[in-house]
């Protein structure tokens, strides 16, 4: 059955087009710096925002009008599978991502829940075969159900920890069956509200133990997906353990997990942590930990996780610049962890929102490629650090300097001269590049 009957395949029509249901910048086969846009961007649809969510917020019920609204839970789950493949095909996105609980409702017991999952996974497997759609990543939702009130891998209750382990095991099996290219761990309730009732050391040790078990089980069943941790500083808990890229890398290093994981970085999580998205990507890249991206944007006036579709060109340009400089996104992709606003409740809005995100990323990719071609940032940065290429700077970089040799140099060097960082000039040139592509 078709759910989006009034919408056909979204085509690339180019900059001159005024058709809202067409791409102006995303031209999948267009080659940018040696790869097609499709290969660079590896877009994915987030099942939860696009097919499961209703538009409910803390002050009001759902507003979305969908073709599966009136069905019972299990039928809804089946209808969403069909809608997913129809949507992916029409919008031209090769990948999708889901949490276990997005695709199938929970039953009265874990066994029943797993049975519901099996029914839907069969349908997903068939749909993927029929359409060629691929799973960028799956994950386990270990935060929505009340049992996870005190966390999953960081809970104070060993029975809940065991349940989380069982849920994770099933989720890894699903990932293997559907050929997931990545598997994501976002620590939904892996954090704490107050130290007044919390054993932080035990919680972190236990979380690491769960990750080690996941690595061991994936190995055992031959599930070769890239494992990703998704940092976020707050929401739902006040202190999320995977605060940002740097904190997460330190955690992985401490527990001997760094070789088994990379990071899934999200734009809105970066801004919640007081960082830019490009900062988070750079931190990951210079540590060899860049895995995948959750593309969205927050509202800086609100300061919470609003998961808006990305429309900020300045940010997508700098994001894609970081990705290109890191050598690409590898097995990861650009997953739209983004939801239409509550007021955008029609099916058509799902298409318009993804088109906006895809065009903004494609535009950012083209601008980033031009930034590299024109050598604007690289050239400036290289020149800015040139003092480390010779003399005392070269000694420092080679690891040959000592405090005594630095003192000897500084004592005779009486005329330190600094240079301007030229930030305003660079920003204007960046604007010119963004609007020229």
42 or 232: whose CB is closer to ligand XUL?
A: 232
Q: Cβ 333 to ligand XUL, closest distance in Å?
A: 13
Q: Cβ 266 to ligand XUL, closest distance in Å?
A: 5
Judged on CB neighbours under 10 Å (0-12, 13-18, 19+), 348 is middle
Partner that binds at residue 305, options ligand XUL, Co ion, none, CB closer than 5 to 8 Å by kind:
ligand XUL
Partner that binds at residue 278, options ligand XUL, Co ion, none, CB closer than 5 to 8 Å by kind:
none
Candidates 100, 102, 244, 347; catalytic one: 102
Task: Point out which residues pair with 297 in neighbouring strands.
Answer: 308
Do you find a cis peptide bond into 236, omega within 30 degrees of 0? yes
158-166, long-range: CB < 8 A, 24+ apart: 161/206, 161/210, 163/110, 164/140, 164/210, 165/210, 165/213, 166/110
Judged on CB neighbours under 10 Å (0-12, 13-18, 19+), 174 is buried
Q: Cβ 151 to ligand XUL, closest distance in Å?
A: 14
Phi, psi dihedral angles at 389 (to 5 degrees): -90, -20
Q: In 10 A of CB 321, how many CB atoms?
A: 24
The residues, any chain, with a CB within 8 Å of residue 209's CB and separated by 6 or more, are: 153
Partner that binds at residue 139, options Co ion, ligand XUL, none, CB closer than 5 to 8 Å by kind:
ligand XUL
Sign of CA dihedral 344, 345, 351, 354: positive
| Residue 175 tokens, joined | 């990932």
137 or 321: whose CB is closer to Co ion?
A: 137
371/373 Cα distance (integer angstroms): 6
- Contact of 237 with 279, CB cutoff 8 Å: no
Partner that binds at residue 232, options Co ion, ligand XUL, none, CB closer than 5 to 8 Å by kind:
ligand XUL
* Helix (H), strand (E) at residue 192: strand 191-192
| Residue 66 tokens, joined | 């969908």
The residues, any chain, with a CB within 8 Å of residue 213's CB and separated by 6 or more, are: 165, 168
CA 341 vs. chain centroid, Å, equals 19
Residue nearest to ligand XUL (CB): 186
* Helix (H), strand (E) at residue 134: strand 134-139
96 or 186: whose CB is closer to ligand XUL?
A: 186
Partner that binds at residue 359, options ligand XUL, Co ion, none, CB closer than 5 to 8 Å by kind:
none
Does the active-site annotation cover 99?
yes
Alpha helices in 222-312 (DSSP H): 245-254, 267-272, 277-286
Q: Cβ 245 to ligand XUL, closest distance in Å?
A: 14
Would you tell me which residues interact with Co ion (CB under 5 A)? 266, 294, 337
97 or 433: whose CB is closer to Co ion?
A: 97
53 or 124: whose CB is closer to ligand XUL?
A: 53
Q: Cβ 70 to ligand XUL, closest distance in Å?
A: 27
Would you tell me which residues interact with ligand XUL (CB under 6 A)? 99, 139, 184, 186, 230, 232, 266, 294, 305, 337
Query: What does the longest C-alpha to C-alpha distance in the chain come to?
Result: 82
307 is in an annotated binding site: yes
305 is in an annotated binding site: yes
159 is in an annotated binding site: no
232 or 354: whose CB is closer to ligand XUL?
A: 232
| Three-state secondary structure call for residue 223 | coil
28 or 310: whose CB is closer to ligand XUL?
A: 310
Q: Cβ 183 to ligand XUL, closest distance in Å?
A: 11
Partner that binds at residue 280, options ligand XUL, Co ion, none, CB closer than 5 to 8 Å by kind:
none
The residues, any chain, with a CB within 8 Å of residue 176's CB and separated by 6 or more, are: 218, 221, 222, 223, 225
Q: Cβ 186 to ligand XUL, closest distance in Å?
A: 3
230 is in an annotated binding site: yes
- Contact of 13 with 19, CB cutoff 8 Å: yes
378 is in an annotated binding site: no
Candidates 40, 49, 99, 275; catalytic one: 99
Q: Which residues are known catalytic residues? A: 99, 102
Give binding residues for Mg(2+) as ranges: 230, 266, 269, 294, 305, 307, 337
> Which residue numbers belong to the known binding site?
230, 266, 269, 294, 305, 307, 337
């Amino acid at each position: 059955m078709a759910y989006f009957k009034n919408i056909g395949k979204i085509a690339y029509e180019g900059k001159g087009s005024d058709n809202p249901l067409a791409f102006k910048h995303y031209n999948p086969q267009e080659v940018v710096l040696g790869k097609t846009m499709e290969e660079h961007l590896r877009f994915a649809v987030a099942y939860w925002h696009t097919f499961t969510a209703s538009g409910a917020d803390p002050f009001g019920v759902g507003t979305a009008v969908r073709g599966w609204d009136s069905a019972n839970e299990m039928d809804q789950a089946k209808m969403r599978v069909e809608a997913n493949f129809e949507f992916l095909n029409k919008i031209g996105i090769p990948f999708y991502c889901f949490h276990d609980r997005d695709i199938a409702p929970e039953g009265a017991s874990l066994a029943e829940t797993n049975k519901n999952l099996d029914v839907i996974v069969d349908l997903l497997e068939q749909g993927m075969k029929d359409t060629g759609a691929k799973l960028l990543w799956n994950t386990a939702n270990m935060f929505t159900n009340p049992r996870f009130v005190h966390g999953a891998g960081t809970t104070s209750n060993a029975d809940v920890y065991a349940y989380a382990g069982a849920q994770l095991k099933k989720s890894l099996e699903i990932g293997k069956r559907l050929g997931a290219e990545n598997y994501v761990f976002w620590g939904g309730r892996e954090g704490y509200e107050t130290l007044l009732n919390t054993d932080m050391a035990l919680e972190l040790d236990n979380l690491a133990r769960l990750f080690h078990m996941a690595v061991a089980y994936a190995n055992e069943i031959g599930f070769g997906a890239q494992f990703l941790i998704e940092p976020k500083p707050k929401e739902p808990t006040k202190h999320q353990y995977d605060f940002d890229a740097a904190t997460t890398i330190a955690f992985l290093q401490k527990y001997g997990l760094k070789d088994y994981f990379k990071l899934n970085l999200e734009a809105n999580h970066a801004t919640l942590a007081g960082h830019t998205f490009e900062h988070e990507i750079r931190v990951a890249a210079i540590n060899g930990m860049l895995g995948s991206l959750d593309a969205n944007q927050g509202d800086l006036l609100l300061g919470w996780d609003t998961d808006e579709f990305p429309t900020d060109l300045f940010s997508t340009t700098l994001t894609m610049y970081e990705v290109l400089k890191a050598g690409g996104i590898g097995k990861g992709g650009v997953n739209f962890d983004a939801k239409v606003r509550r007021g955008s409740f029609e099916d058509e809005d799902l298409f318009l929102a993804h088109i906006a995100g895809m065009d903004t990323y494609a535009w950012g990719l083209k601008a980033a490629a031009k930034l590299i071609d024109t050598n604007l940032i690289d050239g400036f940065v290289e020149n800015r650090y040139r003092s480390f290429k010779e003399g005392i700077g070269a000694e420092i970089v080679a690891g040959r300097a000592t405090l005594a040799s630095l003192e000897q140099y500084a004592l005779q060097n009486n005329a330190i001269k600094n240079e301007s960082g030229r930030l305003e000039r660079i920003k204007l040139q960046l604007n010119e590049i963004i609007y020229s592509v």
